[in-house]
Amino acid sequence: MSCCQTLQSTEPQDSGQQSTAQRLDEERVRAASRLVEGQLYQTDFTVPDMHCAACIGTIERGLNSMDQVVSVRANLTTRTVAVVWDAERGPGSAIINFLARLGFDANLQFLGENDSAATDDKGRLLLRSLAVAGFAAANIMLLSVSVWSGADLETAKLFHLISGLIAVPAVVYAGQPFFTSALKALSARRLNMDVPISLAVLLALAMSVFESFTNGAEAYFDAAVTLLFFLLIGRYLDHLMRQKARGAVDQLAQLTAKGGVCVDDPKSPTFVALEDISEGMRLRVHPGERLPVDGRIVQGQTDVDRSLVTGEAASVVCREGDLLEAGVLNQTGSIDIIATSDCRNSFLAEVTKMMDAAERGRGLYVGIADRMARLYAPAVHLLALATFIGWMIYSGGDWHSSIYTSIAVLIITCPCALGLAVPVVHVIGAHQLMRRGIMIRDGSAFERLAEVDHVVFDKTGTLTSGQPAVVQAPHLDMEAIGCVVALSNRSSHPAAKAIAQAFDGGEGATLCDIKEVPGMGIQAHSKVGMVRLGRPNWVAEIAGATPLSMDHSGVAFAQQDGALAFFELEDRLRPDAAGTIAALQQAGLKVEILSGDHAKTVAAVAGELGVASFRDRMTPADKIQYIEKQQSKGGRVLMVGDGINDAPALAAAHASMAPASASDVGRLASDIVFTRPHLKAVLIARELALRTGRHIRQNFALALLYNCLAIPLAVTGQITPLLAAIAMSTSSIVVIANSMRLNLYREPQFEQNAESVAGTAEDADAPDRHTKELEAAA
């Protein structure tokens, strides 16, 4: 019997018991739904009371039994349920009512909305409850120490009374997260983990109050409050992880423009909200704005940042007739586009849906503690009940001793050590990672990272630094250098910034009529005439070269009627990329490169790093399809990427990592983010993940050993509730002490490719060295 198993089939409740969410009419449900095809709609619901894998099973089995439901996919990480339903077979509003009968409150999730306010309120409640429980536990423990030390009877009575005055309001307030959940489960005739927890806490509190008022020798206020304190720690950590898990999809939504300027009538441009933009509408997009929907350029020319699509940092010049995707950034010039999609069917919407589907398709991993605790709730209740009945028979109806023994069983079998087995190790492991510049977003990533056997790297921004740098500069006189410095300093283009950095400290010439031409470069007038810095064909127009003969990928500079000069730019490899990949291969992991770049460029990087398998020109859909194919064969893939275009693949992979230089969406979609510019973080994270798994298994073994020894003693009446509380606390201390051994971890060592590192450093110094040579010659 699982922790969320339904005790018996649920019957429809009275309309007076239905919540406001259950009475939402069909129009509101339709407004929150997305039309799939025909009369099929997809509606997303937030279900905050979904706590474990058994809850997912209850929801999916229940909803699949409805006539109008076609498919159901529940996401434990974000606590959402996506339902595809047929409007011809029944109303969508019935889904909310059915979830309510199962004991789950559900809310509609509208396009562009999120439940961050409700999430923040829940987090604040947990934090306040944790603070109250911690304060009460510390003070009650101080009083209990005096009682345990042999205080006289009157002093013990006084301390019990004071402990009760602290414990009762503290338990009532701090226990809200568990009591509320337990009441909802019981009202729907279900059991969950919060039912025995609440029962143990309340019984211990009630018996403590009874003992205090009847001058009993013992009270258990400390056990009740301390148990509550440790359980709240685990619940709050779980809340933080789930809150961060929702960030990637929310960040993608933030990339969507709120609307666009419609110029169907050029004389009266009007702003149109995103949801009102339709296919065929003419929109104007200014520099610095993102495209609200997919569209074709019909007027204008500009540089566009398409890193969302390709992952490549280099800007692309776009002209009339070019197709652009929703979410791409217009950098330099105003353009008019004809919308080729609406907001629900745009490229950005597809990326969001792919990432959400990939996250739902992870297999819905649950923590080891949840898997082991599925039998806990019914087993503890049955064991406590059997103990009570057995002692009633054995003692001849002595209900006092029977209840005492049953409370001892509930306390000594409390999930404190079991609940701490995972989160404490995760906290210490996360701290060890943080000390090394590595941040983990999801505690369950430790388990998944330890299981990987296949590592996939993106190229740009992951294996490379993501920032272009000048690797070869032309021979220029001092006057030309001054023009290059002045032009590059006035442009915000990444290539211009790289050239400006190469001549850092150089004095710029005096120029006038400086103008940046969208998609081409920047030009101005000097004392010798026009000067240009930008695309070779465009620069060649003022030089003595034929544009059609130009086949050069670098950045060109020329003065009026002068010779063309080329700057070679290159995105350099990270210094330890070769050593990291070699170490991964030595560990028996398969390593591959997936990139949206050209075959020649990807092949060169793969050859330099010793990677035999690579794929080029990969779109976001290609990457996620490839990863899913590998995992369908039994592989467990670690994806290391940085771009928005990598977000779906990061979400689909068994585990994922991203550098801090990655896009916001890429970082939020990954399980782990490393802030240092070294790929060695991949090795460190994996080694810590392996150690974390070992410590968790050791903790479970200790917790099980404790229960195997303590439960028989409690059932036979050899342990009082006070000793049970001490044993419970001791088991928690042992688990924490074992977890602390993770602090002894030392980083793995591996050989770096000295030639690669030296070559990178030499290339980095080349522009400065060349500048010094030019200055010396002058």
Cβ contact 443:420 at 8 Å: no
Report the Cα–Cα distance between both ends of the chain, in Å, rounded. Answer: 86
**Which residues partner with 303 through β-bridges?**
317
Residue 341 tokens, joined: 């999609």
DSSP conformation class of 12: P
Going by C-alpha positions, the residue among 526, 521, 527, 528 that lies closest to residue 557 is: 521
Q: 601 φ, ψ to 5°?
A: -65, -45
DSSP H or E stretch at residue 110: none
Mind giving me the DSSP string for 724-776? HHHHHHHHHHHHHHHHHGGGG---------HHHHHHHHHHHHHHHHHHHHHHH
**Which residues partner with 673 through β-bridges?**
439, 658
Q: Judge whether 477 counts as a catalytic residue.
A: no
Counting runs of H as helices and runs of E as strands, what totals does the chain give?
28, 27
Active-site residue identified among 356, 458, 576, 646 = 458
Dihedral of alpha carbons 602, 603, 604, 606, sign: positive
Mind giving me the DSSP string for 492-511? --HHHHHHHHHTTTPPPPP-
Going by C-alpha positions, the residue among 693, 694, 679, 691 that lies closest to residue 638 is: 679
Residues 6+ apart with CB under 8 A from 567: 470, 472, 473, 474, 495, 499, 502, 554, 555, 556, 557
The CA distances from residue 390 to 80, 398, 411, 740, in Å, are: 44, 11, 18, 41
Catalytic (active-site) positions: 458
